[in-house]
Amino acid sequence: MSIVVFGVNHRTGPLALLERVTIADDAIAKTVHGLMSRPNLREVVVLSTCNRTEVYAVAEKFHGAYGDLRDFFCDLGGFSADELIPHVYSQHDDAAISHLFEVASGLDSAVLGESEILGQVRIAWERSQREGGALSTLNLLFRHAIETGKRARTETSIGRHTASVSHAAVDMARENLGAIDGMTVLVVGAGELGEGVDGALSRAGTESITVLNRTVSRAEALADKIGARVSDFESLENELSTADVVLACTGAGGVIIDHELMARVRDGVSTPLLVVDIALPRDVAASVAELPGVTLRDLDHLSEELSTRNKPLRLVINCSGRFICDPTRAGRMIRRSLRTMWCLRGDG
């Protein structure tokens, strides 16, 4: 028996590839069932965020599981194996355990030490439990991973640097413009990312914030927390025309601000517009960047910027945090527990 992880993340694949393998929340259950029907996979947990799509699995043999997971990702993104393989990572046993611990601790995130990933790992595990994908082995592994993520934030310096993609997006807007407190900001999306963006904007002293969402009641609930204005989705074009900064973060699953729409908005306008798109798949068509006066930043730009900013921070955090994720410690303890459990079940 082997524990396997197979995936694509912000370091191994470009945004154009990542958005093709993103799995929407309402598709997770079907995905778990589909993976469980494959011949070499006994248990699975699917983790899909704006930085990664990964499958953790328990398998009879690593190579059989690798083939099943490779085929799954190829089908998911419409790739040939030759297109996919240069961008994936796969690990097994101690290395897979260590990888999950690093993910849960925020050590593998684009925003180093970010706090959102621990909750996302927990939700992925709980969803797979409900669908019968996480059984005794992955339940044990993910329980330890959640505890590891908590320890990383209480026993090391990781928690002192905690941020999120939402906060990083606001920081990037500020760095591009110098300041945004006196600007008109439009936030498109009122989900988890939108809530994080609005909170970061409020803390940055931004006074003119409009929240736009398909479900108006959700936008209203979020706007009430920070004193923002609410607009409905039918007003998107009008709201774009008055904004200095647009932060797009919906879960729409595809482009909602296309080239044609933005071209109408920008017709005869000379004032600059900064658009920061942190949705996956993207909310804003890449060709919008070609329009005069428009600067478009997306998750690829954010990853590049963070990778430079994280270098000195990573050295500090790694020194204090790696011991928690070390497979020679907790990982091997789990492997011993798993071997005992598998032997008792006769799995070997």
As a whole number of angstroms, the distance between CA 117 and CA 192 comes to 12
Element (H, E) at 294: strand 294-297
Residues identified as active-site: 50
Phi, psi (deg, nearest 5) at residue 41: -110, 125
Q: Which of these, 90, 25, 14, 77, lies nearest to 51 by C-alpha position?
A: 14
Q: For residues 50 and 48, give the distance between their C-alpha atoms in angstroms, rounded to a whole number.
A: 7
Closest to 38 (Cα-Cα) out of 7, 11, 70: 70
**C-alpha span between 199 and 209 (Å, rounded):** 11
Task: Give me the DSSP letters along 65-105.
Answer: HHHHHHHHHHHHHT--HHHHGGG-EEEETHHHHHHHHHHHH
Other CB atoms within 10 Å distance of the CB of residue 31: 22
